């Protein structure tokens, strides 16, 4: 069974964050530059929220707000749903499905180790299924 720590080992623990007082426009620019769909919102080294492209679309664009004048704190999602490195991929898939989120910060002893996305989770499930299929084919052939 694959764990969150295995996903982070494969993808790295890059953490992209923004402060809550920064304008949403800066957050969107950073997401585009880093090719990510969400940023952690950090204040004084503490995780206080998460802001995603979905938050932008629903809370800025659809509400007619200005990206340059709206602070991240006004659109971020909080509190943040987090997972631990020892959590299973299946547990995370259940969380993203049940809670309708796409990004899960990975936290251990109060320290942020990285973020796993729904894409990371789906890829892990597909890889595990391919591995199981190969094993069964070798078992049947052998």
Could you tell me the pLDDT band of residue 124, with boundaries at 50, 70 and 90? Answer: very high
Residue 47: how many CA atoms within 13 Å on its side-chain side? 24
**Pairing of the two strands 38-43 and 17-18:** parallel
Provide the β-strand partners of residue 114.
Answer: 106
Query: Strand, coil or helix: what is 107?
Result: strand
Check residue 13 and give its pLDDT.
Answer: 79
The model's pTM: 0.89
Residue 61 has pLDDT above 80, yes or no: yes
Alpha helices in 13-102 (DSSP H): 24-34, 53-56, 89-99
Geometric angle at alpha carbon 100, from 51 and 22, rounded to 5°: 5
Domain that holds residue 119: 4-141
Alpha helices in 12-77 (DSSP H): 24-34, 53-56
CA distances from 51 to 42, 77, 137, 139 (A): 11, 6, 44, 47
Provide the β-strand partners of residue 104.
Answer: 116
Please give the tally of structural domains in the chain: 1
> What is the domain-level CATH number for residue 87?
3.10.580.10
Q: At 7, which helix (H) or strand (E)? A: helix 4-11
Residue 68 has pLDDT above 80, yes or no: yes
Quickly tell me which residue has 């595990």 as its tokens: 128
Check residue 46 and give its pLDDT.
Answer: 94
Check residue 141 and give its pLDDT.
Answer: 86
| pLDDT tens per residue, range 15-51 | 999 999 999 999 999 999 999 999 999 999 999 999 9
């Amino acid at each position: 069974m694959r764990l969150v720590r295995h996903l982070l080992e494969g993808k790295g623990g890059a953490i992209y964050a923004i402060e809550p007082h920064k304008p949403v426009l800066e957050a969107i620019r950073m997401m585009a530059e880093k090719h990510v769909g969400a940023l952690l919102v950090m204040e004084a080294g503490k995780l206080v929220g998460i802001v995603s492209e979905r938050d932008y679309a629903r809370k800025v664009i659809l509400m007619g707000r200005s990206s340059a004048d709206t602070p991240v704190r006004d659109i971020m999602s909080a509190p943040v749903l987090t997972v631990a490195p020892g959590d299973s991929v299946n547990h995370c898939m259940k969380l993203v499905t049940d809670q309708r989120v796409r990004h899960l910060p990975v936290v251990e002893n109060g320290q942020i180790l990285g973020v796993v996305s729904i894409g990371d989770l789906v890829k892990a499930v597909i890889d595990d299924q391919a591995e199981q299929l190969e094993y069964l084919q070798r078992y049947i052939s052998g």
